[in-house]
Structure 1
Amino acid sequence: MNTRLQELLANCEEVTDAEEEAFLLFSQDIPTGNLGFLEPRASTVDVTIRGNEYTVHQSPTLLSSSRAGGTTGAELGCGISALVALALAPSVNHYLATDQEYVRRLFRTNLEENASVISASSTKGKSAKPRGGKSTKKQSSSQNATSNVTFTTLDWELDQPELLKGCIEAGDDDTDAGVEDDKGFDLILSCDCIYNDALVTPFVRTCAEICRLRPAYEPSDEPQPPSTRQPTICIIAQQQRAPDVFEAWLRETLREFRVWKLNDDVLGDGLKNGTGYLVHLLLRREKN
């Protein structure tokens, strides 16, 4: 198994009891949050992440609409903002964002609008031209900065996870033998997707189906060859809302995964215990 993953797990607390974990987390004081709404009536919102300033376009009309199926994904920090994709794009080979079809347009708008932020932050020691510049080279560089981000739709109840990777075009780094047969992913990252009882089962099932595309987690102290496919790591981040929904999610999750709660040293001040946010790491367990 990956040595860095082993080191991370060694400093995290494994969770085995859903009821006990829910009680421990929700019996403490939880800061009052606004569920991500900064300025719901504004057409754009400025957000700063690790010193980088992003302009996020949103739809006040959509936020206040009564569309069938709700407007989840239209809120800041969910599907349309592209903030997670923008923050991680420079650090990963490819990022596949999934959501409902109706958020695609605003997601692409925000991705393209802020591509220059990634380009500028990754260019150190070089002078940058003003934002209004017409430099073809700069535009090309900005476009390349998010060329490894793909958006596709994913219905947790209807779509087939094994087809997800097909929407990513193979790049120069995908030439290793056997990689074309690997339909799995290194990491699943979920940010605030758990808020409704009805979504718990399809969400957990989808995560498990994606993880089945890679080997299950098997603890071992023996070194493995670099070519060995590693299990998919799930990172589930969520805001503390209803304890019963959280407990239902965790109980369902423990049937498919081993679960660890990330400690404060890993999370930092913004997400540590008592901030109102929870982050768990999941690895699919081998079925008996």
Structure 2
Amino acid sequence: MPLNSFLSLLHEVHDTYEGSLTPPPRLHTGHTGQSPTLLSSSRSGGSGETTGAVLWKVTPLFATYLSHPGNPFFSHGVLSSRSTVLELGCGVAGVLGLTLGSSGRVRGYFLSDQEYVLKLLRRNLEENTPPPAAPRKGRARAEGSAMVRTLALDWEKDRITREHPVLKEGVPFDAVIACDCIYNEALVEGFVEALEEACLELSAASSPSSPGAARGREGGSALSKEAGGEGKTKPTLAIIAQELRSPEVFETWLVRFHKSFHTYRIPDSLLTPEINSASGYCIHVGILRDSGQIGMLGRGGDQKRPLCT
């Protein structure tokens, strides 16, 4: 199976202490661009929040890495032109959506961030998305062109559910991607909970069109079987790219993430020099553990608002 061959290349994290990585001396500020308009304004509600206004360096580096034909996600069929992806905390630039979605590298790319980010995000997408290529003479226009969608999502407050009008189609998601979303310990719990919910709600096992839907919803056994190569249901992968800044924050995230996900790190041998641990970056992949064991940890479903539209 493509997933098994892919996982065999990775370093599985069994001990979170051994899995910790030490940041190298910083040679750069960590960000490569920003939105002066958003940085100088206050979001709706007057809190002055500017999360999403800065484009951190790991995002374009990760986009470049995924664009390389030899990267293991695509070369082993984990992601393909038939894949659908959700990104958490995409920011105003939407770099990955443009790289993977607008280019047709994947079938569908869903960019999510807080409501106040979306106006500039949509403008960036419009201004940087090339018009569809005209069909060559004698050939019909290619079918199944990529779809790039945006949705408002504050993963500290909102639920990720198929009831959302943007997600209700029931298409299974191959991956949930997040780049540099963890920069202090206070964000860790809500972030991992959002990943849990996304990987549970958006997987093939939970899709109404999936034959194994009921089985996957009841106990996540289909996801566990796929990780072991026995089942037919493909799990939704959590893919986390981040800059190594604070050892304390990274360890807090790794311990919490490992509690809910089978955790794998992309080894430096499969990374480019620009995005490996020596340069201060890392990429982890997670497969949701048995949902019965997770028990929707701390989710407090009724305490969260319905997902924004």
Equivalent residues of 1:257, 1:285 under 8 A apart: yes
Deviation by residue 1:167-211 (Cα, 9 ceiling, x = unmatched): 1585xxxxxxxxx4x6x5210010110111111000000101111
Q: Distance in 2 between matches of 1:252 and 1:102?
A: 29
For residue 197 of structure 1, the aligned residue among 185, 198, 204 is 185
- Equivalence for 2:17: 19
Deviation at 1:272, TM superposition (A): 1.8
**Local SS of the residue matching 1:283:** strand
Stretches of 4+ aligned residues off by more than 6 angstroms: none
User: What RMSD over aligned residues (CA atoms) do the two structures have, in Å?
Assistant: 2.8
Larger CA Rg, structure 1 vs 2: 1
Q: 1:69 to 1:278 in 2, by over 3 A?
A: farther
Deviation by residue 1:58-77 (Cα, 9 ceiling, x = unmatched): x3142245762631101125
Equivalent residues of 2:110, 2:149 under 8 A apart: yes
User: TM-score normalised to the size of structure 2?
Assistant: 0.66
Matches within 5 A, 1:254-273: 254-273=258-277
Q: 1:266 to 1:111 in 2, by over 3 A?
A: same
Q: 1:269 to 1:119 in 2, by over 3 A?
A: farther
Deviation at 1:16, TM superposition (A): 2.1
For residue 7 of structure 1, the aligned residue among 5, 8, 11 is 5
Matches within 5 A, 1:89-104: 89=101, 90-104=104-118
**Local SS of the residue matching 2:111:** strand
**Local SS of the residue matching 1:274:** helix
**Local SS of the residue matching 2:245:** coil
For residue 35 of structure 1, the aligned residue among 30, 33, 38 is 30
Q: Distance in 1 between matches of 2:269 and 2:154?
A: 35
Q: Distance in 1 between matches of 2:107 and 2:263?
A: 26
Q: Distance in 2 between matches of 1:91 and 1:199?
A: 31
Q: Distance in 2 between matches of 1:152 and 1:274?
A: 35
- Equivalence for 1:111: 125
**Local SS of the residue matching 1:255:** helix
Q: Distance in 2 between matches of 1:10 and 1:106?
A: 40
Deviation at 1:119, TM superposition (A): 4.6
- Equivalence for 2:166: 167
Equivalent residues of 1:30, 1:274 under 8 A apart: no
Deviation at 1:266, TM superposition (A): 2.8
Q: Distance in 1 between matches of 2:55 and 2:157?
A: 26
**Local SS of the residue matching 2:162:** helix
Runs of 5+ in structure 1 lacking a partner? 41-58, 127-140, 171-179
Q: Distance in 2 between matches of 1:87 and 1:111?
A: 11
Q: Which amino acid aligns with 1:237?
A: A
Q: What is the aligned length?
A: 229
Equivalent residues of 2:4, 2:228 under 8 A apart: no
Equivalent residues of 2:108, 2:147 under 8 A apart: yes
Matches within 5 A, 1:237-276: 237-276=241-280
- Equivalence for 2:285: 281
**Local SS of the residue matching 1:20:** coil
1:87 aligns with 2:85: no
Q: Which amino acid aligns with 1:83?
A: V
Q: 1:72 to 1:107 in 2, by over 3 A?
A: same
Q: Which amino acid aligns with 2:228?
A: S
Equivalent residues of 1:150, 1:168 under 8 A apart: no
Q: Which amino acid aligns with 1:217?
A: S
Identity across aligned pairs (percent)?
Answer: 36
Q: Which amino acid aligns with 2:184?
A: N
Matches within 5 A, 1:144-155: 148-155=147-154
**Local SS of the residue matching 1:282:** strand
- Equivalence for 1:220: 228
**Local SS of the residue matching 2:273:** coil
- Equivalence for 1:49: none
**Local SS of the residue matching 2:27:** coil
Q: Distance in 1 between matches of 2:193 and 2:48?
A: 20
- Equivalence for 2:234: 230
For residue 210 of structure 1, the aligned residue among 160, 185, 198 is 198
Deviation at 1:161, TM superposition (A): 1.0
Q: 1:29 to 1:221 in 2, by over 3 A?
A: same
Equivalent residues of 1:30, 1:275 under 8 A apart: no
